């Protein structure tokens, strides 16, 4: 059941993104950042938490989940360190993901030569 929920949740989020690409003049980069910002707001409003409980990885892996982690990190840091946490919490909570992205990007750039579309 968890797998099905994750599949449905992730699928719906991606389908919305696909509709935005196909039906609106929004560029992929704007949709990307828009998704992250939406994740932050939905978490702040307490809407995303229940979605994560239902959809699991289907909600945390897409870009909205990155916004969710940012918002959650801020929440936690504010609780522990006060208002300074507004600045430090987001990146602390997502540091693992960001560092992994940088490290793997460097690795891939070293290992492979860019190719064109086939």
Residue 83 lies near another protein (rule: CB under 8 A): no
Closest approach of another protein to the CB of residue 28, in Å: 5
Residue 111 lies near another protein (rule: CB under 8 A): no
DSSP assignments along 37-65, one per residue: HHHHHHHHTT-HHHHHHHHTHHHHSSHHH
Site size with another protein, rule: CB under 8 A: 10
| Cβ-contact 69, 60 below 8 angstroms | yes
User: Helices marked H in 1-118 — which ranges?
Assistant: 2-23, 28-44, 48-55, 57-60, 63-81, 85-111
Which of 1, 82, 83, 116 is in the footprint of another protein by CB under 8 A? 116
Which of 1, 4, 25, 111 is in the footprint of another protein by CB under 8 A? 25
Point out which residues bind another protein (CB under 8 A): 21-22, 25, 27-29, 114-117
């Amino acid at each position: 059941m968890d797998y099905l929920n994750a599949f449905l949740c992730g699928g719906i989020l991606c389908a919305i993104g696909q509709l935005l690409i196909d039906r609106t003049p929004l560029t992929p980069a704007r949709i990307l950042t828009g998704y992250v910002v939406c994740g932050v707001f939905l978490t702040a409003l307490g809407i995303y938490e229940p979605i994560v409980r239902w959809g699991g990885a289907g909600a945390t892996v897409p870009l909205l989940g990155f916004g969710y982690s940012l918002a959650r990190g801020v929440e936690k840091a504010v609780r522990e360190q006060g208002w300074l946490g507004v600045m430090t919490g987001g990146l602390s909570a997502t540091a693992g993901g960001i560092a992994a992205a940088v490290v793997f990007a460097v690795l891939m750039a070293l290992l492979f030569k860019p190719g064109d579309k086939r």
